[in-house]
Structure 1
Amino acid sequence: MAVTAGRNPLPGRGTFFVGVDVAPGRYMCSETAGGWWIRFTGPGGDKTVRSGRLPHGPAEVVVEVGDFAFQTNVGAPWRLQNPAAEHVHDGPEPLRRVVDPELPGGAEALRTRRAPLREAGPALAVLGLLWMSLWAWAWAAAAAPVVLGALLLVHMRDTRQRDRVERARRDHSLGPEDFDEEARRLMLRAQRAIAAVRESEVNRQGMLDSVDNAVTLPRQEWEIARVLARQARLRHEQDPFLSDTVPPEVQAAVSSLREKLEQSVRAVTRRIEALERYADHALAADEALRAHRQLETLAERAHEYDELVADTVRDDLAVSAIERLTAQGDELVRTLRGRLAEAAAAAAALPPDPP
């Protein structure tokens, strides 16, 4: 089954979270002249794969399943050609990364408007012209520190760009690494319920409040994820204080904090259960919608049944006519038999042939 999350076509300019804004797969762009793209790879997007300056004409890029984000600056949209096959997990069901819906523009907030090394372009061009002029070698030597300084500034800008993506990951997105087992189990329940509502037929047909769902469900998912991540962090912090070597007074204090933590868990569980009830109602509405459509289909065929009933009336009228024909046939058979008997009697009354 293919991964379908994300936009298609994908805008030519912007930064997009993989699995949220852009689906993994092979993308094609019809015109990329002078543009570029960057894939931020790894769980935190701390590594990059860059295209360099793209030539005139079409280009393609493969966004991998394990990528964190994809940044692009080209003049035409990217169109998905081949979705990446979903990875078959032998272990636990994977969590989707959750992004803060209040982040202005989503991943667009991470957009870097200028390409790496673009600022150094004019300086490099000037240096090339100077080197081409043999009489100006001294000027070229003098310009070299300027160019090196420009390259250093570009490198610093690129580093800041990666830092921005990493800060956005920490502050505005949560992934599997942010949850412990208990939090992961609850987060999976919430994501299953949200997916069931989104994928329901009544939601796709706009019979539910699809606009409200588009706003409310991502916010619910993010708020639940934030609470569960905090709970996971607090449980991890409490673990060292739960051993037998800890003084009783400390254990008592931790026990009180643990109870407050459990209250929070119960509260977020009730919230998740409300989402699950919503999903159950959406699925029940799907069943009702299917039944309604089946009834509509039957109603559309009702005239055929009416015609069949009319044909039945005609059949009843035809029965008497057929019975009359049958009686006439019987009478004809009796007449024929009588005539045959008379013929036989007449034949018997004939005198025998002379010897």
Structure 2
Amino acid sequence: MTSGTWNNSIPGIGTYFVGIDVAPGRYRCEDGKGGWWVRFAGPGGGEPVGSWPLPAGPTEIELSPTDFAFETHVGTYWERIAPPYQGEGAPHELRPVADPSLRAELDTIVARRRPLVWLAPLTVLGMGVLGAPVLGSLWLLGLAMMAVLVALGSPAVSLDLQRARELARRRDRYLTPEDLDDDARGLLGRAQEAIDAVRDSEVNREGLLDDVDNAVTLPRQEWEIAQVLARQSKLRSEHRVWAASEVPEVGAALRPFQEKLDLSVQAVTRRVEALEHYAERTRAADEALRAQRHLDDLAARAHEYDDLLADSVRDDLALPAIERLTEQSDALVRTLRDRLAEAAEAAEAGDGTGGALPPSR
């Protein structure tokens, strides 16, 4: 299973875990002619949905946060064009969370096995060559065709299985929504919504938030928050069992531990709130950017209004109108800069909540 990335693209051939290898969302392939894809939906991927053969030209696919994996075989790559559709008023669907270093680690393991996997078709072809003097040319032709089939299918399947086995051995390196209780899932959902808002914002896509390394830092923040929430879920479950005891001494002994658990919940909540504040400032910067673009479009057409006024009234009447437009443009530029600065400050403020966000460079 070749690893995907969080840089909004998926290679054309391979199998990818949703939420671990690739982000959920809507993807577009510019030419899927003759290819195919399979979405492994449902618990553990038990409800596959696929399409084959794909028509010539562009095709799109929606990967849900609840999908288990995505298998693709097309001649080009998939580009993420939109976040996952949630529906108006729909609750956020949680996705699995993985240690950001896990994908690169699995890639390294698979890369080491790749030369060995490709020996399989060469072995089949070698058997054909050795047996040809005794069994004839039909034997050689038959094994040559088999070697081609093995070369086309066996390496990909073998590497997918190898990567799945390695992932199973690293169960402590990723978490699923089932690892969390209701309280923890609520906090993780808020964190993921905030992270998605920043990652999918226009100012982030266009590199205007370069001072905050979102591509590296946000996945790390999500993983650290999920780890704390999973531990809190486990302890809350144990507390419920202990609290059911009718022995008074157990309840008294449990009280200080409950207080520490409550403090941990308050701390991670502040961390999530810092992410939400950062997302809020990023949305404000997006609004200013869109307003600036509209004003740029108007400014580009200012000469048309100038010509119209010159043809209709005296030339000096056109000057105040153009000056007002210029002043509005300057004001919006200042607003955009202020809001980008506020977004960076929101990130810096996260340092006071347990390192919720990175400081600007």
> Cα offset for 1:211?
6.6
SS in 2 for 1:16: strand
> Cα offset for 1:300?
3.4
Once residues 278 and 188 of structure 2 are traced to their aligned partners in structure 1, the CA distance between those partners, rounded to angstroms, is 16
1:97 partner letter: P
1:230 pairs with 2:231: yes
Change (3 A) 1:76 1:212: same
2:226 partner letter: A
1:100 partner letter: D
1:278 partner letter: Y
Once residues 159 and 214 of structure 2 are traced to their aligned partners in structure 1, the CA distance between those partners, rounded to angstroms, is 39
Q: Is the 8 A contact 1:40 1:69 kept in 2?
A: yes
Once the two structures are superposed, residues 189-227 of structure 1 have per-residue CA deviations (whole angstroms, 9 ceiling, x without a partner) of 111111111121211221112771111111111111111
> Cα offset for 1:269?
0.6
Counterpart position of 2:336: none
> Bigger radius of gyration, 1 or 2?
1
Once the two structures are superposed, residues 36-69 of structure 1 have per-residue CA deviations (whole angstroms, 9 ceiling, x without a partner) of x999887557999xxxxxxxxxxxxx99866534
Counterpart position of 1:163: 165
Q: Is the 8 A contact 1:16 1:22 kept in 2?
A: no
Counterpart position of 1:257: 257
Once residues 201 and 250 of structure 1 are traced to their aligned partners in structure 2, the CA distance between those partners, rounded to angstroms, is 54
Change (3 A) 1:109 1:288: same
Once residues 89 and 284 of structure 1 are traced to their aligned partners in structure 2, the CA distance between those partners, rounded to angstroms, is 21
Once residues 9 and 96 of structure 2 are traced to their aligned partners in structure 1, the CA distance between those partners, rounded to angstroms, is 21
Once residues 90 and 230 of structure 1 are traced to their aligned partners in structure 2, the CA distance between those partners, rounded to angstroms, is 30
Q: Is the 8 A contact 1:41 1:69 kept in 2?
A: yes
Once residues 214 and 278 of structure 2 are traced to their aligned partners in structure 1, the CA distance between those partners, rounded to angstroms, is 11
Trace 1:126-205 onto structure 2 (pairs within 5 A).
126=127, 162-168=164-170, 170-205=171-206
> Cα offset for 1:16?
2.9
> Cα offset for 1:114?
4.5
2:291 partner letter: A
Trace 1:1-355 onto structure 2 (pairs within 5 A).
10-11=10-11, 16-19=16-19, 20-21=21-22, 43=43, 68-69=68-69, 92-103=91-102, 105=104, 108-109=107-108, 111=110, 113-114=113-114, 122=123, 126=127, 162-168=164-170, 170-209=171-210, 212-243=213-244, 245-303=245-303, 304-305=305-306, 307-308=308-309, 311-313=312-314
> Cα offset for 1:98?
1.4
Change (3 A) 1:263 1:158: same
2:219 partner letter: P
> Cα offset for 1:278?
0.7
Once residues 93 and 263 of structure 1 are traced to their aligned partners in structure 2, the CA distance between those partners, rounded to angstroms, is 26
Counterpart position of 1:322: none
> Structure 2 length as normaliser, TM-score?
0.57
1:167 partner letter: R
SS in 1 for 2:16: strand
Q: Is the 8 A contact 1:187 1:225 kept in 2?
A: yes
Once residues 10 and 16 of structure 2 are traced to their aligned partners in structure 1, the CA distance between those partners, rounded to angstroms, is 9
> Structure 1 length as normaliser, TM-score?
0.58
Once residues 251 and 177 of structure 2 are traced to their aligned partners in structure 1, the CA distance between those partners, rounded to angstroms, is 30
Once the two structures are superposed, residues 118-175 of structure 1 have per-residue CA deviations (whole angstroms, 9 ceiling, x without a partner) of 7776389759987x979xxxxxxxxxxxxxxxxxxxxx9998754322133x222211
Change (3 A) 1:195 1:247: same
Once residues 160 and 313 of structure 2 are traced to their aligned partners in structure 1, the CA distance between those partners, rounded to angstroms, is 84
Once the two structures are superposed, residues 243-280 of structure 1 have per-residue CA deviations (whole angstroms, 9 ceiling, x without a partner) of 2x331221122221111111111111111111111111
Once residues 298 and 89 of structure 1 are traced to their aligned partners in structure 2, the CA distance between those partners, rounded to angstroms, is 32
Change (3 A) 1:160 1:269: same
SS in 2 for 1:290: helix
> Cα offset for 1:283?
1.0
1:277 partner letter: H
Change (3 A) 1:287 1:9: closer
> Cα offset for 1:13?
6.7
Once residues 25 and 312 of structure 1 are traced to their aligned partners in structure 2, the CA distance between those partners, rounded to angstroms, is 53
Once residues 9 and 283 of structure 2 are traced to their aligned partners in structure 1, the CA distance between those partners, rounded to angstroms, is 30
Once the two structures are superposed, residues 50-95 of structure 1 have per-residue CA deviations (whole angstroms, 9 ceiling, x without a partner) of xxxxxxxxxxxx99866534678x99655589x9x96979985310
Gaps of 5+ in 1: 49-61, 135-155, 317-355
> Cα offset for 1:21?
1.9
> Cα offset for 1:234?
1.2
Change (3 A) 1:47 1:302: closer
Across the aligned residues of Structure 1 and Structure 2, the Cα RMSD in angstroms comes to 5.4
Q: Is the 8 A contact 2:184 2:229 kept in 1?
A: yes
> Cα offset for 1:302?
3.7
Q: Is the 8 A contact 2:92 2:193 kept in 1?
A: no
